[in-house]
Amino acid sequence: MKSPVRVRFAPSPTGFMHLGSVRVAFLNYLFARKHQGTFVLRIEDTDASRNLDEARTKIVEDLAWLGLPYQEGPVVGGKCGPYLQSERNDIYQEQLQVLIENCKVYRCFCSAEELEAKRQKQMAMGKPPRYDRTCLQLSDDKIKAKIAADLPFIWRFKLNYDQLLEIKDLARGTISFEMKHFSDFALTRPDGTCTFMFANFVDDWLMNITHVIRGEDHLSNTALQAALFDAFALPLPTYWHLQIICNKEGEKLSKRDFGFSLEDLKQAGYLPVAILNYIGTAGVSFAEEVQSLEELAKNYPFESLHHTGNIRYDVDKLTWFNHKWLNRLDAHALLAWVKPILHAALPASTTCSDDELVRLIAAVKSDLQVLPDIVNALRFVFNPPAITPQQFVETMGEQVASAMQAIIAGRLDASTPQALLDGVKADATARGLKVKEAFSSLRFVLTGATQGVGMQELMTILPAEEIKRRFMSILPVN
């Protein structure tokens, strides 16, 4: 293991954070924590035409919401800054000049239209599209003439087609790349700014990144960046190319799939710890699936990784994790999450103190799948159901309803809600009713639903006088 470990999350600010990005960020974070290393955030915003200023801010906000603090990056600073690529152009130009002086690059004057025509022609001939090095063959006089004519150009890196490069991947072992299968690639754009390919390499080098953890869709980029490391006679980082997250049909997750966007999950009421727990265990076998971030950092099997197929995103499994965490968290911890939801949907809840809300949350949290479920779970508390004797009969059936009306009427004078419940249970059994039927009847009167909160919890959630009032509402009028 290289020491000290330094990893980076390097998103482009071109839109919202999606589940794949969250997974990359989280596994970088876990790897740094496991090895007491440094987690760096770098914003790769070299392409001004695609960047969104608000997206830069949103990335920082999303990492904070997820609970993934970085030690170096925008806002917090660090010894290897700046951490916005748009502020590092002078650094890139300095390293580009080294390549120019060592004849590792050449000017390419081909227009986008010419390149596309070449590409289409190669594909029509059944050949892989690759730059044909037209501009590498230009004489010095032709180059000078094109420069004098002020023709736009880019700098291309000149690959050694006879070279075999190797990288170390944590899951795949040694991966070899024959450079003859790749194409001379652009280091700059026509406006002079540097491309992702070059800026990414320079930053990983100068920020002393020891491990590059990113999606396997970057594998071909890694081959070309390995050529750049070789050109500067630099040691390569260790890589880990993560499986792609797919939908249930095996297609790459897209905007059409619920949960692709982190914002989707936030709005739907998923806890950050549940999201991270789900994506942290996806594709890996654990004896215990529900684990905190601290537990995952300790238990993640970085030493025994192996490459597997793509990960199938399962929203039902994610919801299962969310349910487990909603039940595991203390009601005081959940208060901050559900209080705004309750107040917005049930204005009457604003009259409750925090202590009262915590007591209510504790009684129902085991029934929640996502945070907004708290509204339906506690609606009966703040919006009492208006159950008439006729509705009671229609719902429970005449035989059960008649028996329960008689039982309830005989127990209204019980000293406590618990005594009332015990008495009803005893009377129902004596009349030959199943306890489940009796409790369903009581729950329907108190909440408007035959299933839901346990009867023991209901007896503590509602005030004794309110319980009595609701029971009286279903008794026949004499």
Neighbouring C-alpha atoms within 13 Å toward the C-beta of 21:
23
As separate numbers, helices (DSSP H) first and strands (DSSP E) second, the chain gives: 20, 10
Could you tell me the residue ranges of all domains in the chain? 330-372, 384-472
38 beta partners: 6
157 beta partners: 105
- How many CB atoms are located within 10 Å of the residue 185 CB? 21
Both tokens assigned to 16: 């919202």
Q: Which residues of the chain have pLDDT under 50?
A: none
108 beta partners: 154
Q: At the topology level of CATH, where does 384-472 sit?
A: Arc Repressor Mutant, subunit A (1.10.10)
Is the Cα torsion angle 32, 33, 34, 36 positive or negative in sign? positive
- How many CB atoms are located within 10 Å of the residue 379 CB? 19
Candidates 376, 375, 379, 368; CA nearest to 271 is 368
Provide the pLDDT for residue 395.
95
Tell me how far apart the alpha carbons of residues 105 and 156 are, in angstroms, rounded to a whole number: 5
pTM of the model: 0.92
Bond into 384 cis (ω within 30): no
Distances (CA, A) of 389 to 24, 358, 402, 415, 468: 58, 33, 10, 24, 15
**Helical spans, DSSP H, in 365-475:** 373-382, 389-396, 398-411, 417-430, 435-447, 455-461, 464-472
Bond into 385 cis (ω within 30): no
- How many CB atoms are located within 10 Å of the residue 155 CB? 21
Tell me how far apart the alpha carbons of residues 208 and 196 are, in angstroms, rounded to a whole number: 18
Provide the pLDDT for residue 54.
82
Provide the pLDDT for residue 237.
98
Tell me how far apart the alpha carbons of residues 34 and 425 are, in angstroms, rounded to a whole number: 54
Both tokens assigned to 341: 């939801």
Provide the pLDDT for residue 49.
64
Provide the pLDDT for residue 53.
72
Provide the pLDDT for residue 14.
80
